[in-house]
Amino acid sequence: MERPLRLAIAGLGTVGTGVIKMIQNNGALIEARTGRKVTISAVSARSRDKDRGVNLAKYAWEDDPVALAKREDVDVFVELMGGSDGPAKAATEAAIAAGKDVVTANKALLALHGQELAEAAEDKNLVLRFEAAVAGGIPIIKSLTEGLAGNQITRVMGVMNGTCNYILTRMENAGLTYEEAFAEADGLGYLEADPQLDVGGIDAGHKLALLSSIAFGTKVDFDGMRLEGIGAVTIEDINRAADLGFKIKLLGVARMTGRGLEQRMSPCLVPASSPLGQLEGGTNMVVVEGDHVGQIVLRGAGAGEGPTASAVLSDICDIARGIRVATFGQPAKTLKAAPPASAASAACYYIRMTLTDKPGALAKIATVLGDNGISIDRMRQYDHPDEAAPVLIVTHKAAQPALQEALAALPQTGVLMSPPVALRIEDV
């Protein structure tokens, strides 16, 4: 009988305690499915005395996660501390140097240091697994590296931050302002300590950068990501989009183009009838398109104790089975550095404006758009009690540079009462 697979777990927050619960409760099931017993040798966290709702008495304790990573009675170092640098990075590096496989849920660490960590692990024939780092319980990493390995991936997109999706859903369903929905999410404990990680698109951008690397065989390039959060989305935008048959989502999209790797995380309009349009609350969804498989849609819980711990255990179970997969689906040293696309691919756009209610105002707007090669598909003007006339325009497909030039020129018409708002309409 093969000896047990011995774990060290650094970080005993929601996910860490969830992993311990799964091993304690489902140990026999895990052994039956992998053919190997999985045990915990030692743990580490900031506070030893905190009541975490799990029995830690039979595990050794290390105050220093680096010392934990180096223990001789450990085969797999499970990093659940978080953070792109500091203890998480130091302990992960120490584990690899000591010959340990690593399982992590740390998207920020991998988005910023994934290439060097992957090369270090693969040089020592170790695995670095991170299913839990992207979209919680959704098995998107395994899907890309294994299930879709024979496909040329053409596009990856998705809603990968449950907090943002919760805020946008509450704005729509309850008629809340952004500020009201944000405060509600904060009260429920959904926001990161730095809320900008969520609402600024940074958290979801980290995840998309990792998926891009696997999908297109490129080095992780978070710095090449175009990021735009949801802070400028108003209840008016949500209602107007609904009038046109769309929903607004913080949508990540990655594709390889002739101009380079396009990676963007921004609020977009998607058809209300599409799977992404029907996604509500804190749920995540990732859509992958391949040249032979077509479109694959994966939907599930994007965070929380159970779903994220489940993803951590999936990586541990693979290691117990002896499955060894390169970190990003192919040897890290073969990954190419792709130049960032200078602009997003052409798309239709939703443009919201408030005009002065004077003759010729719309004509001036149409002239500016036309001068920049942007044609109007649909236009809608709403009733208004004063001189502020709300106007919506949906364009035909337009190049992003042309749109930016038009948006910069529109205030010079003298008919705008506030800056225009433009949101991309994603073809899904």
Terminal Cα distance for the chain, rounded: 50
Residue 10: CA count within 13 A, CB half-sphere: 31
β-pair partners for 423: 350
Of the residues 89, 100, 142, 207, only one is catalytic, namely 207
What kind and span of H or E run contains 368?
Answer: helix 361-371
The C-alpha atoms of residue 130 and residue 140 are separated, in whole angstroms, by 10
3-class DSSP state for residue 221? coil
The C-alpha atoms of residue 108 and residue 79 are separated, in whole angstroms, by 12
Q: Find out whether 14 and 81 touch, Cβ atoms under 8 Å.
A: no
Rounded to an integer, what is the distance from CA 163 to the centroid of its chain? 11
Q: Which two tokens stand for residue 270?
A: 């998607």
Residue 360 burial (C-beta neighbours within 10 Å; 0-12, 13-18, 19+): exposed
The C-alpha atoms of residue 16 and residue 312 are separated, in whole angstroms, by 9
Residue appearing with tokens 């800056």: 419
Residue 363 burial (C-beta neighbours within 10 Å; 0-12, 13-18, 19+): exposed
What kind and span of H or E run contains 96?
Answer: helix 86-97
The C-alpha atoms of residue 143 and residue 288 are separated, in whole angstroms, by 9
Angstrom distances, CA of residue 47 to CA of 13, 63, 341: 11, 8, 45
207 is catalytic: yes
Residues marked active site are found at 207
